[in-house]
Structure 1
Amino acid sequence: MNNNERLVDDNSTVSIQGNETTNSVERKKVKKEKKSGITIRELTIIGLLAGITIALGVSGYGIIPLGPLNVTTLHVPTLIGAIVEGPKVGAFVGFIFGCYSLWQNITAPNILSPLFINPIISVLPRILFPVLAYLVYLLLWKAPQGPRILVSAFMGTVFHTIMVMGLIFLLYADMFAIKMNLSPDQVLGSIVFLSVTHGIPEAVFAAVIVTPVALALRKVLRKDTPKKEKTDAVTSTATTVGADANKTTEVNKIKSVEENITK
């Protein structure tokens, strides 16, 4: 083997070893993220949506007083997180939503705030409803993305209202009757009435807002890209890398020949 061939082989070996090292590091990063149970991207999205939730609440746009209850738009980021990134992200954002609701009822109470100081009412439903919204999204897997997201957001909000008002009825029916000046026989009818008059507007609002936002985010994050396109993209990248490696090898060959001619 002459010097030129030896130089080419050495350069090729170094290039292959470098690629293997890079791939090994990437695999270790992916494994580490999987072991931790949550990826960096998911943490970033949770932080962003949680920040939007708190901003909506602090600005006053997230909780709108309407009679004895508050009509909330704070659940919108939670639904977006669940539909775009899955139930885990939705549950985390929902937890922040619930904690803010708890704090809001402590610092700015209304007539029914004593009921919402209980985390079972103020926090638990906010963790569960994005999971249910995502299940609806999965069940509608044959539907086009637009209607699929719209129905999931609407039903997620309905589940949220049913859980909150249902827990109030189960745990605080007597206190609800006292606060609202109702007889015990009127409690169920009043809760159903409030659920409809507050829950339906919330559900419609959520469906209208969540659908275009979730569609745009899923497109940006390539959530709806067919697997074939993703495979083609990976193949194209691999081909480009291979071509670059071949060019590097050719350049090294030319350099080695020039050095020998000079000598």
Structure 2
Amino acid sequence: MKNIKTNDLVKLSFFVAIIVLLAVTPFLGYIPLGFTRATIIHIPVIIGSIMLGPFYGAFLGFVFGLTSLINNTFNPTVTSFVFTPFYSLGTYSGNFWSLVICFVPRILVGVVPHYVYKGMKKIKNNDVLALGLAGVAGSLTNTLLVMNFIYLFFGQSYAEAKNVAVSTLYGVILSVIAINGLPEAIVAGILTVAICKALLRYTGKPALQ
């Protein structure tokens, strides 16, 4: 039991290192898109959720959120106030809800894939299908929650920062989800299958507790 726990902690450290490496590498973990950033950091969180279980997955999601907080505080874009309470731009400033947006979706990215994978394995014992859907679900968890929380908590400020009318903001958010979120989800699904299948050859079964 002790050896299993030690082994899990080693794996956890490995995933944390990957997240930090992606976060500090320019144009890799956080990809500038002018007014905001795309990210691939959710992928090791998704894989960690499947391989290590929801508790460790949630911790990896927290680390993901922490890197986002630091990045948006010290290397901000126009809309960074939605991710950090420590950044202001003119009349736009972050607050407590910035922390909610920054951490809650990312923590859930480390939880949802585990249960999607576990549930799909019970319905149909097909690793490729289960892993792919878990990857897609994890990515969409991040995109859907972040974008909808932004609309809910910072709608007017976000619209003004992006220079769009408040009445059209949700349409803009839906376009971001469609143009960025769906391709990200597909890529996450493919990478989750490829990487997890490779890892499973060497580490055995993923956590299904």
Question: Per the shorter chain, which TM-score range?
Answer: 0.7 to 0.9
- 2:105 is the counterpart of 1:125: yes
Larger radius of gyration: 1
Looking at structure 1, the residues matched to 29 and 63 of structure 2 have their Cα atoms a distance apart, in angstroms, of 13
Q: What is the Cα deviation at residue 194 of structure 1?
A: 1.1
Equivalence for 1:102: 69
Q: Superposed, which structure 2 residues align to 1:1-263 within 5 Å? A: 30=1, 39-60=5-26, 61-117=28-84, 118-141=98-121, 142-223=124-205
> Which whole-Å deviations, capped at 9, do the CAs of 1:189-230 have from their partners, x for residues lacking one?
111111221211211221222211111212212217xxxxxx
Structure 1 regions of 5+ residues with no counterpart?
Answer: 1-29, 225-263
Q: Which secondary structure does the structure 2 equivalent of 1:71 belong to?
A: strand
Looking at structure 2, the residues matched to 194 and 138 of structure 1 have their Cα atoms a distance apart, in angstroms, of 30
Q: Which secondary structure does the structure 2 equivalent of 1:223 belong to?
A: coil
> Which whole-Å deviations, capped at 9, do the CAs of 1:58-107 have from their partners, x for residues lacking one?
11211111242211001111011011121112111111111001000011
Q: What is the Cα deviation at residue 143 of structure 1?
A: 3.5
Looking at structure 1, the residues matched to 110 and 125 of structure 2 have their Cα atoms a distance apart, in angstroms, of 19
Q: What is the Cα deviation at residue 42 of structure 1?
A: 2.1
Structure ranking higher in helix proportion: 1
Q: What is the Cα deviation at residue 129 of structure 1?
A: 2.0
Looking at structure 2, the residues matched to 112 and 42 of structure 1 have their Cα atoms a distance apart, in angstroms, of 37
Structure 2 regions of 5+ residues with no counterpart?
Answer: 85-97
1:95 alignment partner AA: F
**Paired positions, count:** 190
Looking at structure 1, the residues matched to 22 and 78 of structure 2 have their Cα atoms a distance apart, in angstroms, of 22
Alignment RMSD, CA only? 1.7
Q: Which secondary structure does the structure 1 equivalent of 2:184 belong to?
A: helix
Equivalence for 2:91: none
Looking at structure 1, the residues matched to 191 and 74 of structure 2 have their Cα atoms a distance apart, in angstroms, of 28
Equivalence for 1:232: none
Q: What is the Cα deviation at residue 111 of structure 1?
A: 1.2
Looking at structure 1, the residues matched to 105 and 171 of structure 2 have their Cα atoms a distance apart, in angstroms, of 21
> Which whole-Å deviations, capped at 9, do the CAs of 1:13-39 have from their partners, x for residues lacking one?
xxxxxxxxxxxxxxxxx3xx5xxxx92
Looking at structure 2, the residues matched to 104 and 197 of structure 1 have their Cα atoms a distance apart, in angstroms, of 23
Moved more, 86-95 or 65-74: 65-74
Q: Are the aligned partners of 2:34 and 2:77 in contact in 1 as well (CA < 8 Å)?
A: no
2:60 alignment partner AA: V
Q: Matched residues, percent identical?
A: 31
> Which whole-Å deviations, capped at 9, do the CAs of 1:138-159 have from their partners, x for residues lacking one?
2211241112101110121011
Q: What is the Cα deviation at residue 44 of structure 1?
A: 1.4
Looking at structure 2, the residues matched to 123 and 102 of structure 1 have their Cα atoms a distance apart, in angstroms, of 8
Q: What is the Cα deviation at residue 136 of structure 1?
A: 1.1
2:175 alignment partner AA: F
Q: What is the Cα deviation at residue 41 of structure 1?
A: 2.0
